Amino acid sequence: MRNSFFIFFFLLTSCGYHLGRSQNNENISVSVPYISEDFSGLFTNELIKQVANCSQINYHQTNADYILDIKISENSTNQIGYKYDRNNQNVRQQNLRATEGRQQITAIVELIEKKTGITKFGP
């Protein structure tokens, strides 16, 4: 029994798995204001969701230690999927219409400390 516990513990620690907390105990709070060029709000919403899911970062709408300032520098959409129209008898027509698109966004990101106004990361 003792040998099996030792082997189990050795396997857990040898592959990089550690029991307990990480060495960085500091949790920072970040605020993500609305991105001005994000007209649909999908990019802002997804960014907030990803920040909130991060274990080392606490998302706060207000009163955060840091502000994530984002400016969209390039925004493009490409049509990648098409479909033929069909009539009431389900016969394919000659009209081809776009059904899928791919949006590509390039952004300039800065992490700004709220108290001092100093950029800690970026752009």
Per-residue pLDDT tens over the stretch 37-63: 888 888 888 888 888 888 788 888 888
- pLDDT at site 34: 87
Q: Is 70 exceeded by the pLDDT of residue 16?
A: no
For 99, half-sphere exposure in the C-beta direction (CA atoms, 13 angstrom radius) is 7
pTM above threshold 0.75: no
* 19 band by pLDDT with thresholds 50, 70 and 90: very low
* 23 band by pLDDT with thresholds 50, 70 and 90: low
Tokens coding 56: 């080392």
Q: Is 60 exceeded by the pLDDT of residue 20?
A: no
Which one has a higher pLDDT value, 5 or 27? 27
Q: Is 50 exceeded by the pLDDT of residue 14?
A: no
- pLDDT at site 5: 40
Q: Is 50 exceeded by the pLDDT of residue 12?
A: no
What 3-state class would DSSP assign to 51?
helix
- pLDDT at site 25: 57
Residues 6+ apart with CB under 8 A from 24: 56
**15-32: buried (b, 16+ CB within 10 Å) or exposed (e) per residue?**
eeeeeeeeeeeeeeebbb
